[in-house]
Amino acid sequence: MAGGNEGLGPAEVEVVDLCRELISIDTSNYGDHSGPGERAAAEYVAEKLDEVGVEATIYESHPGRSSVVARIAGTDPGRAPLLIHGHLDVVPADAADWTHHPFSGEIADGCIWGRGAIDMKNMDAMVLAVLRQRLREGRRPPRDIVLAFTADEEAGGSWGAQWLVDRHPDLFADCTEAISEVGGFSFTAGDDRRLYLIETAEKGIAWMKLTARGTAGHGSMVNDDNAVTELADAISRLGRHEFPIRLTKTVRLFLEEVCEAYGIEFREDDVEETVARLGPIAGMIGATLRNTVNPTVLNGGYKANVIPGSATAEVDGRFLPGMEEEYFAEIDRLLGPKVSREFIHHLPSVETDFEGGIVSAMADSLLAEDPGAKAVPYCLSGGTDAKSFQRLGIRNFGFVPLKLPPELNFSGMFHGVDERVPVDGLRFGVRVLDRFIDLS
């Protein structure tokens, strides 16, 4: 463990145990209802809030699939509330692949190890630790805080945030801004310079099922209307297609800030060269330069000597903010007239401006704890529960403040093996979040 507890505040001490205990509750999400669900974690969170006088309600969308919502009154009832949301589910993990058991919450090499350590039980623990300390000390936030610890984010939120927004929109109706995951972490850009990436945008999601239909027949016959052939051609066109670079306002601003930090000229005609300098996060950032589509599943036929009447495939499509119409027009062109598509999962893109009081609060709270900090916006290639909450007009920001060692491949641990979070990073995040609540 990184050092002892001397000189640490109560939240900095407690966040370690909270994170470990949350990780030890297996909330694996298999994309259906076969897993353990989030109920045990929801009850844990509700109990921790109840201990400091916060009334929390557990909402169960399906047996075992549980979310927690609570509201903490601020000192200025005239201000719009801040929504802080985090999900309780995690992607599955095979213990045989891990150095330390994924549901142990073990501390080793200065880190807490386990599934959810960064995605995102770390933030759940930081929020609980900060608010528990504040309420014990009688320090109310300046404005109301609405807390939402959700189910099912790892499968798109149908049984979590989407369900809450559909069934209980009144819980969040007066919120104007929100913070949650996949942002606020540091990227070392020099000896004493760290860029903290604040998520202000997300690509849209289009998981699609493709179907080609043809004429069924005997495998020995000549058949120029073969569904498998038609589908294979279409999948090949999709998989090999390179969409053009499209710089959204968020991505452009991020690249300009990176170039300034490195002391190099921003060249719009060679942005991939800039991204290549970013090391471990290059893959995450590179995926936000253009729309993408990747074939992932292929099915067709049932016997070697039978030409099937249809064949199907599934693809993972992601489109940049403001480019949905252009994206699907290109997808349809590549598919051709003999292959149809339908959505398995379709969620919008998200983007908000990197400005306003909440952005200043994030930047100032980071700078107070790290003199080498600079907050910059970035676009996430994946998706979060922000997609659901934006339907209520809420501005969403990814802000889980973590000061990370430069050698840690942080982005590579999302859904990866040996997921872990530095103990010192958690404690840093607690201090930043405490300041942020006062400033926001």
Q: Are 199 and 385 within 8 A, CB to CB?
A: no
268: which 2 tokens? 């719009």
Q: What pLDDT score was predicted for residue 258? A: 87
pLDDT confidence bin for 294, thresholds 50/70/90: very high
Confidence (pTM): 0.92
Q: pLDDT tens for residues 336-352? A: 999 999 999 999 999 99
Share of the chain above pLDDT 70, in %: 99
pLDDT higher at 286 or 36: 36
- From CA 195, how far away is CA 243, in angstroms rounded? 28
Q: Average the pLDDT over each of 43-52, 99-108, 227-236, 260-269 and give the range with the smallest value.
A: 260-269
Which pLDDT band, with edges at 50, 70 and 90, does 323 fall under? very high
**Residues β-bridged to residue 319:** 204
Look at 69-73, 195-199, 239-243, 275-279 and tell me which has the smallest mean pLDDT.
Answer: 275-279
pLDDT band at 276 (very low <50, low <70, confident <90, very high): confident
Q: Are 14 and 129 in contact (CB under 8 A)?
A: yes
Residue 2, pLDDT score: 46
Is residue 425's pLDDT more than 70? yes
Burial class (CB in 10 A: 0-12, 13-18, 19+), 164: buried
Task: Summarize the confidence of residues 263-278 as an average pLDDT.
Answer: 83
Question: What was the pLDDT predicted at 282?
Answer: 81
pLDDT 10s digits, 68-77: 999 999 999 9
Output 160 or 345, whichever has higher pLDDT: 160
Q: Is the pLDDT score of 400 beyond 70? A: yes
Residue 357 CB contacts under 8 Å (≥ 6 apart), including other chains? 440
Task: Please state the length of the chain.
Answer: 440
Q: How sure is the predictor about 1, in pLDDT bands with cuts at 50, 70 and 90?
A: very low
β pairing state of 82-87 and 177-180:
parallel
What does the pLDDT average to over 183-212?
A: 94
Reference 86, options 9, 27, 17; nearest CA is: 27
For the chain, the structural domain boundaries read 10-189+350-439, 201-347
Mean residue pLDDT of the chain comes to 94
* pLDDT reading at 396 higher than 80: yes
Query: CA–CA separation, 144 vs 153, rounded Å?
Result: 24
Domain boundaries 10-189+350-439, corresponding CATH code: 3.40.630.10
Q: What percent of the chain shows pLDDT beyond 90?
A: 85
C-alpha closest to that of 152 among 316, 401, 383: 383
Band the pLDDT of 278: cuts 50, 70, 90.
confident
pLDDT digit string, tens, across residues 351-378: 999 999 999 999 999 999 999 999 999 9
CATH fold, domain 201-347, is Alpha-Beta Plaits (3.30.70)
**Which of 53-58's residues contact partners 24+ apart within 8 Å by CB, and which partners?**
53/135, 54/131, 54/135, 54/147, 56/147
* Residue 240, number of CB atoms within 10 A of its CB: 9
CB 192 within 8 A of CB 372: yes
